[in-house]
Structures are given as C-alpha cells and as structure tokens.
Amino acid sequence: MTFNDIFKSSFLENVMSVTILDMVLGMTLAFCLGSFIFLVYKKTFKGVMYSASFGVTLIALTMISTLVILAVTSNVVLSLGMVGALSIVRFRTAIKEPLDIAFLFWSIAVGIVLAAGMIPLAVFGSVIIGLVMVLFVNKKPHDDPYIVVIRCADEQSEDTVRESLTAQVHKAVVKSKTVTADEIELHYEIRLKSPSTAFVNELSRQQGVRSAVLVSYNGDYMG
C-alpha cells in the first residue's frame, strides 16, 4: 500500500461527477420554470386564503428535484441509497385545495425532467400545462352562487319573501328551513341577475322579516 492509497477517497472522486456547467444550467432553468409555475399558481388561485409560502415551496421543489436527480444520475450506488432515504420521509401537511396537488406534482416532474437533460420537454411541457391551467381554472361556467339567510315571523311573510326573492334573482332554491315557535329561518341558494345586492335591503324592510343576510360561497356547484 502506497502513501497515495492511504489518502485515496471515493468521496473526493465524486466531487466532479457532475460538471459545473450542468449544475449551473440545471439549477438556473429549475429556478426559472419554478418561478413560472409560481406565477401560474398565483394567477389561478381560487381558494379562501392565499399562501405565499406555498408559492415559494413550488420554486423550491423544482430546484430540489433537479438537485436530487442530478446526483442520482451520476452515481448508481447513490441512487439506491436515495430511494431508501426518501422512502422514510413522511409529510403531515394537509392539502386544502385539490388543485394544489397538481402544482406540487408539476414542480417535481419539471425538476426530474430537467435533471434528465430533457430541457425542451420541460420548457414546452410547462408552457402547455400553464396555458391549460389558466384557461380552465379561470373559466366561469356559471354565475357565482350566494346563500341568503332570512328570518321571518310567520308563513304569510315567508310567502311574501319567496315571491319577492324569485322576482329579483335569476335562480332561488330552498336549501334548508328551520321552524321554531316564534320564527321561520330560510336558507336560499341564489344566482344574481346583476352585481347589485340592493334586493337584500328591500327584503329586510318587508313586513314580518326580522333579518336578511347574504353570504358568498367559494365552493363548486353543479348546474
């Protein structure tokens, strides 16, 4: 055994297994495409509370995926160890919006494709996916639904409210009705004819009506 054999290290042999050009190009493209995914997410967000940290996570996921795949493709032994290490990772954060799952997989997939050297596929694929997201997510297939909660004194005022409401909105459907000894509470799903909500003021001024509340709904309705 020579002096050089003593200080020979397999760790040092792997230092230049990935070239500087590959690292710079891969991470730069990953950042650019991750930023594009973040902008599409910001443009198409339809949830209740926007999370800026989730947008930054999309950029980070793209770059991390690229980093991992660059390392894996340069060393077969490392790829086996990486599979074992990632198999024990568990994520506990709940996904609130189903669409967020698509953005997460999009970021990871772009990072993997970039690190594999398929740059045109990553770029053009991201552009096409981004266009599909913007077109379909921002498309409004119907008017926004609202819920009107009306508390009235008796059946006569209930009939008056129903006639007045159906005449001023595009659609009115009873969702629930609660009857107590001294009042009737009605929940209507409605579709507005115009952005104006002045009809709620008129409903509240009708005889026998104790209160009228208009609530916006951010979920999805069929029909």
Task: Convert the pLDDT of each residue in 38-77 to its tens digit.
Answer: 999 988 887 667 778 888 889 999 998 888 888 777 665 5
Q: 221 lies in a domain?
A: no
**Confidence at residue 221, expressed as pLDDT on a 0 to 100 scale:** 47
Same domain, 12 and 121: yes
Same domain, 114 and 190: no
Return the SS3 of 214: strand
**At which of 76, 109, 137 does a domain end?**
137
Q: 56 lies in a domain?
A: yes
Q: Cα–Cα distance between 34 and 200 in angstroms, integer?
A: 45
Same domain, 90 and 7: yes
pTM reported for the whole predicted model: 0.62
Same domain, 21 and 54: yes
Please report, for the domain that includes residue 189, its CATH number.
3.30.70.260
Same domain, 121 and 35: yes
**Confidence at residue 3, expressed as pLDDT on a 0 to 100 scale:** 46
Task: Convert the pLDDT of each residue in 184-198 to its tens digit.
Answer: 898 988 888 777 888
Same domain, 13 and 94: yes
Same domain, 20 and 60: yes
Provide the residue range defining the domain that includes 122.
Answer: 3-137
Same domain, 130 and 159: no
**At which of 137, 161, 182 does a domain end?**
137
Same domain, 131 and 155: no
Phi, psi of 214 (to 5 degrees): -110, 125
Q: Cα–Cα distance between 41 and 104 in angstroms, integer?
A: 10
Task: Convert the pLDDT of each residue in 133-177 to its tens digit.
Answer: 988 887 665 567 888 899 988 888 888 888 888 888 888 888 888
**Confidence at residue 34, expressed as pLDDT on a 0 to 100 scale:** 93
Q: 222 lies in a domain?
A: no
Q: 223 lies in a domain?
A: no
Residues 6+ apart with CB under 8 A from 161: 150, 152, 186, 203, 206, 209
> Is the pLDDT at 200 greater than 70, yes or no?
yes
**Confidence at residue 106, expressed as pLDDT on a 0 to 100 scale:** 92
**At which of 91, 115, 137 does a domain end?**
137
Same domain, 106 and 162: no
207-220 mean pLDDT: 78
Q: Cα–Cα distance between 24 and 30 in angstroms, integer?
A: 10
Q: What percent of the chain has pLDDT over 90?
A: 17
Overall domain count for the chain: 2
Q: 77 lies in a domain?
A: yes
